[in-house]
Chain A
Amino acid sequence: MLVGELEKKLRPPQLDIKPYPSKVITLASGEKMVVREANREEVGVLLDTVHPLMGVAKDFYDIVAARMYAELLGWYRYRVANEFVLVGAIDGEIAGIVNSRLVDEEIGMSLHTLTVKRGLRIGAQLFASKMEHHLEILGQKEVWIVAESPIGFNRWMIEYVLEDRSHLYPNVHHELGGVPTYVLTRPLYDAVRNEKVSGQRPVDTALLATADELRPPEEYPQIPGYKRSKK
């Protein structure tokens, strides 16, 4: 497709981002969750997954879902630079989504972690996968992180013992609303890596194929009574 001159001016420059190698995580339930990189053509099903959660105030799902929706749309329409999206799927059904972007070759900017299926620490596994991508696969030096919910603060700031750089504002500031910025450096990541990052590679071909075609969830534990097919 030809891109017009004005559109070219609107699009951000893009770094060449190495792909994330797919993996499979055996969850506490025994279910196999394939974690793989999503591609731009899948944004439709991702938006479909995120959209119902924009009305859920509990646990700050509304703000996380609304912001992720905009970020996914921005990715699709070339309005966010260097974004990548990882998805966790169980039998093809989306269980969680994380997204992030690269500021430059060395600094990552973690955007959002959204868990659909609750009670299995899927958000924690996907967040760890996102950090794995930034620091191990892409070889970045550090990732800037903020939390929009108490759950996020416990899971990231406390469990990863993130470095608080909020006192360096405005020289160091995360893109999301001026919220205090914390940083995962490579040494901090290495210290918790073995207790945080799970998953096996390579993924069996047949198992990987179950995640070829992503499906939005039929039900949301966050929205009692919601049935997609009866929507």
Chain B
Amino acid sequence: MRKVAVTGIGHTVFGNLSEFDLVDVMAFASADALDDAGIREERGIIDQVVVANMGGGMLNHQTGIASSLVSRLKLEPAMAELVENGPASGGSAVKMGYAVIASEIADVVMVTGGEIMRGVPGWEGTDFVATLLHPEAEYSYGLTLPAFGAMFTRLYMERFGLTERDLALIAVKDHENGAKNPFAHVQVPCTIEGIHDGPDANVVNNYIAEPLRLYSMCPVSDGAASIILCAADSPKMKYFKKKGPVFITGVGSASDTHCVHEREYPLDLKAVKLSGERAFTMAGLSPKDISCAELHDAFVILEVAISEELGFFERGGYKEAVQKGKTRIDGTLPINTSGGLKSKGHPLGATGVSQVHELVKQLRGEAEKGRQVKNPKHGLAVNFGGFGNNVVTTICSKEE
């Protein structure tokens, strides 16, 4: 297969952008990526645009978004498709972009993910996300993603002795990184005293879906992210002189049962494990080779469970890792250096692309002061769809 390089990255701030049009927000991130790649004037070299979005039709009354973005950026006659894979849409779009190049359908691909979710009330946004659940077996009983996150957390806590304080420590670590990330939705640090130990923590960090509290889950965010990919052996690589490339060396995805209750053991996230194994095999790497990771912590428990499924820690071992600071920027395996979904935010379609954006930033050594990992060589991202029924893992490396 052809080697694929990431040659440009772009991002909008995540937060409340509901005053903007969805495609405009995607265009902002895309234009940022074009500038980063140094090809704004030569953007006609882009052969294919892959767009990731989950809620355009339902929340924004917009369809045909890929065509719209191409037109907004004047990229015609580039090929253009939309990828919708729930909250893993971004990761899947990156995978599609990779596949299009690896299979020699195209040489240069722009992958842009975006979402505008805050134009509707919170309950409507929660209901929209819940449409990815099984309509008869889950949704019709009032299940939502926070409810699933809460049940999963409770079971994990009972099984492995994880405490609410441990969950709070993850949030503190994520916010410490997010506070230094200019793209993060919540650029405010939090402390363990403020959200757990202090006298007002019960109100300041209130329960949303017990045992999940406000600081155990991601905010609802708008935003977009974009990356530009090019075949490493393409003559078009000559256009990308501005910055050294980072390479996508591993891509893997896997699915699991739609209904969580059909799984043998609900704490097993088989799609995470399998997608990770596929990506590691493709890259010829193992968990110990990874310098930093962006894991889909829509609920902080997922940072715990995903990292254990991938083999970064043994089952039940994440607890000790967070207590000892191993996942902080200066730890042995920094996780969610961007702030993660918890602090950076989670505009569904944008998230998977944003994760790769962060890996590239880290591998280039361009992260902001205080959140740059020392000498990273390989970064890994997990984009988690449904409640673990469709997961995409991407590995980026500094060297080909």
Where the two chains meet, the residues of A that have a C-beta atom closer than 8 Å to any C-beta of B are 25-31, 58-59, 118-121, 125, 128, 150, 154, 158, 194-200
Q: Given A58-B19, A150-B121, A195-B206, A26 and B188 touching (CB < 8 A)? A: no
Chain B, range 25-55, C-beta contacts under 8 Å to A = none
Report how far A158 CA is from B201 CA in the complex, Å.
22
Nearest CB to that of A26 among chain B residues?
A: B198
Report how far A31 CA is from B198 CA in the complex, Å.
11
- Shortest Cβ distance from residue B304 to the other chain A in the assembled complex, whole angstroms: 21
For this complex, into which size category does the number of interface residues on chain B fall? 20 to 34
Question: Which stretch of B80-88, B189-197, B233-241 is in the interface?
Answer: B189-197
Kindly list chain A residues whose C-beta atoms are within 8 Å of the C-beta of B121: 150, 154
B57 at the interface (CB under 8 A from A): no
The winner among B200, B201, B205 for most chain A CB atoms within 10 A is B200
Report how far A179 CA is from B374 CA in the complex, Å.
56
B203 at the interface (CB under 8 A from A): yes
Inter-subunit contact B200/A29 (CB<8 Å): no
Total number of residue pairs linking A and B with CB closer than 8 Å: 62
Q: Given A150-B121, A154-B122, A200-B199, A27 and B204 touching (CB < 8 A)? A: yes
Contact of A30 among B187, B193, B202 (CB under 8 A): B193
Inter-subunit contact B187/A119 (CB<8 Å): yes
Chain B, range 174-215, C-beta contacts under 8 Å to A = 186-191, 193-195, 198-207, 215
Inter-subunit contact B189/A29 (CB<8 Å): yes
Where the two chains meet, the residues of B that have a C-beta atom closer than 8 Å to any C-beta of A are 16, 19, 121-123, 186-191, 193-195, 198-207, 215
Inter-subunit contact A25/B206 (CB<8 Å): no
- Shortest Cβ distance from residue B391 to the other chain A in the assembled complex, whole angstroms: 30
Q: Given A26-B204, A150-B121, A119 and B191 touching (CB < 8 A)? A: no
Report how far A118 CA is from B193 CA in the complex, Å.
19
- Shortest Cβ distance from residue A167 to the other chain B in the assembled complex, whole angstroms: 21
Inter-subunit contact B191/A198 (CB<8 Å): no
Known: A28-B195, A30-B190. 6 other contacts (CB 8 A): A28-B188, A28-B205, A30-B194, A125-B204, A194-B202, A195-B203
Kindly list chain A residues whose C-beta atoms are within 8 Å of the C-beta of B16: 59
Report how far A27 CA is from B204 CA in the complex, Å.
6
Report how far A93 CA is from B367 CA in the complex, Å.
32
Kindly list chain A residues whose C-beta atoms are within 8 Å of the C-beta of B19: 58
Kindly list chain A residues whose C-beta atoms are within 8 Å of the C-beta of B190: 28-30
Inter-subunit contact B204/A28 (CB<8 Å): yes
Inter-subunit contact A29/B203 (CB<8 Å): no
Report how far A58 CA is from B118 CA in the complex, Å.
13
A-B contact pairs, 5 of them (CB 8 A): A25-B204, A59-B16, A121-B204, A158-B123, A195-B206
Q: Which 8 A-B pairs have the closest CB atoms?
A: A30-B191, A198-B203, A119-B188, A26-B198, A198-B200, A28-B194, A30-B194, A28-B190
Inter-subunit contact A28/B187 (CB<8 Å): no
Contact of B194 among A26, A150, A158, A194 (CB under 8 A): A26
Kindly list chain A residues whose C-beta atoms are within 8 Å of the C-beta of B193: 26, 30
Inter-subunit contact A29/B206 (CB<8 Å): no
- Shortest Cβ distance from residue A71 to the other chain B in the assembled complex, whole angstroms: 27
Inter-subunit contact B188/A29 (CB<8 Å): yes
Report how far A59 CA is from B16 CA in the complex, Å.
10
Kindly list chain B residues whose C-beta atoms are within 8 Å of the C-beta of A26: 193-194, 198-201, 204
- Shortest Cβ distance from residue B140 to the other chain A in the assembled complex, whole angstroms: 23
- Shortest Cβ distance from residue B268 to the other chain A in the assembled complex, whole angstroms: 33
Q: Given A198-B200, A198-B204, A29 and B194 touching (CB < 8 A)? A: yes
Inter-subunit contact A197/B205 (CB<8 Å): no
Kindly list chain B residues whose C-beta atoms are within 8 Å of the C-beta of A158: 123
- Shortest Cβ distance from residue B198 to the other chain A in the assembled complex, whole angstroms: 4
Kindly list chain A residues whose C-beta atoms are within 8 Å of the C-beta of B191: 28-30
- Shortest Cβ distance from residue A126 to the other chain B in the assembled complex, whole angstroms: 12
Kindly list chain B residues whose C-beta atoms are within 8 Å of the C-beta of A25: 200, 204
Nearest CB to that of B168 among chain A residues?
A: A28
Inter-subunit contact B201/A120 (CB<8 Å): no
Nearest CB to that of B192 among chain A residues?
A: A30
Contact of B198 among A30, A120, A154, A195 (CB under 8 A): A30
Report how far A161 CA is from B186 CA in the complex, Å.
27
Q: Given A26-B199, A150-B121, A154-B121, A119 and B186 touching (CB < 8 A)? A: yes
- Shortest Cβ distance from residue B184 to the other chain A in the assembled complex, whole angstroms: 10
Nearest CB to that of B195 among chain A residues?
A: A28
Contact of B200 among A58, A118, A200 (CB under 8 A): A200
Nearest CB to that of B171 among chain A residues?
A: A28
Inter-subunit contact A196/B203 (CB<8 Å): yes
- Shortest Cβ distance from residue B265 to the other chain A in the assembled complex, whole angstroms: 34
Inter-subunit contact B188/A120 (CB<8 Å): yes
- Shortest Cβ distance from residue A127 to the other chain B in the assembled complex, whole angstroms: 12
Nearest CB to that of A23 among chain B residues?
A: B200
- Shortest Cβ distance from residue A111 to the other chain B in the assembled complex, whole angstroms: 23
Report how far A195 CA is from B123 CA in the complex, Å.
19
Report how far A30 CA is from B16 CA in the complex, Å.
25
Kindly list chain B residues whose C-beta atoms are within 8 Å of the C-beta of A118: 188
Kindly list chain A residues whose C-beta atoms are within 8 Å of the C-beta of B195: 28
Report how far A58 CA is from B205 CA in the complex, Å.
26
Inter-subunit contact B203/A27 (CB<8 Å): no
Inter-subunit contact B203/A197 (CB<8 Å): yes
Kindly list chain A residues whose C-beta atoms are within 8 Å of the C-beta of B205: 28
Report how far A31 CA is from B200 CA in the complex, Å.
11
Kindly list chain B residues whose C-beta atoms are within 8 Å of the C-beta of A197: 203
Kindly list chain B residues whose C-beta atoms are within 8 Å of the C-beta of A150: 121
Report how far A194 CA is from B16 CA in the complex, Å.
29
Kindly list chain B residues whose C-beta atoms are within 8 Å of the C-beta of A119: 186-188
Report how far A158 CA is from B121 CA in the complex, Å.
11
Report how far A25 CA is from B122 CA in the complex, Å.
26
- Shortest Cβ distance from residue A89 to the other chain B in the assembled complex, whole angstroms: 16
Kindly list chain A residues whose C-beta atoms are within 8 Å of the C-beta of B203: 125, 128, 194-198
